[in-house]
Amino acid sequence: MDDRPPRPGQTLAATCPLCGNTSARVLPFSYEFRGRPLRGVGCPKCDLARLFPMPSDEEIASLYSEEYFTACSDAVDAHGKRAYKDLAADGAADRRRKAVRLDRLLRGPSGRRGRFCEVGCGPGFFLAEMRSLGWEVRGLDISGFAARHAREVLSLEVTEGPLVPGTLPREAFDALLLGDVLEHLPRPREALTAVWCSLVPGGVVAVAVPSTLNLLSTRLGMAVYRRRGRSKTLRLPPYHLFEYTPRSLRAMLETSGFQVDRLRQSAVPLGKMGLRGLSVENVGKAVLQLLAHAGAFACNRGGDRLLAVGVRPGEGAGVRARRDDGPKGQCGREVTE
Question: DSSP labels for 267-289?
Answer: ---GGG----S-HHHHHHHHHHH
Residue 22 neighbours by CB distance under 10 Å: 11
- The predicted pLDDT at position 287 comes to 76
- Contact in structure between 15 and 208 (CB atoms under 8 Å): no
Residues 6+ apart with CB under 8 A from 130: 99, 102, 103, 116, 118, 137
- Contact in structure between 161 and 194 (CB atoms under 8 Å): no
- The predicted pLDDT at position 143 comes to 92
Query: What is the per-residue pLDDT across 125-181, written as a single tens digit (0 to 9) for each?
Result: 999 999 999 999 999 999 999 999 999 999 999 999 999 988 999 999 999 999 999
- The predicted pLDDT at position 150 comes to 95
- The predicted pLDDT at position 319 comes to 37
User: Which amino acid type is present at position 141?
Assistant: D
Whole-angstrom CA distances from 148 to 1, 141, 202, 213, 328 are 50, 10, 32, 35, 32
- The predicted pLDDT at position 190 comes to 96
Q: What is the pLDDT along the chain (337 residues), one digit of tens a residue?
A: 456 778 888 999 999 999 999 999 999 999 999 889 999 999 999 999 999 999 999 999 998 888 888 776 655 555 556 677 677 766 788 999 999 999 999 998 778 999 999 999 999 999 999 999 999 999 999 999 999 999 999 999 999 999 998 899 999 999 999 999 999 999 999 999 999 999 999 999 999 999 999 988 888 888 888 888 888 888 889 999 999 999 999 999 999 999 999 999 998 877 666 655 556 666 777 777 788 878 888 889 888 999 999 999 986 544 333 445 566 566 754 443 3
Q: Which domains does the chain have, with CATH numbers?
A: 60-330 (3.40.50.150)
- The predicted pLDDT at position 327 comes to 67
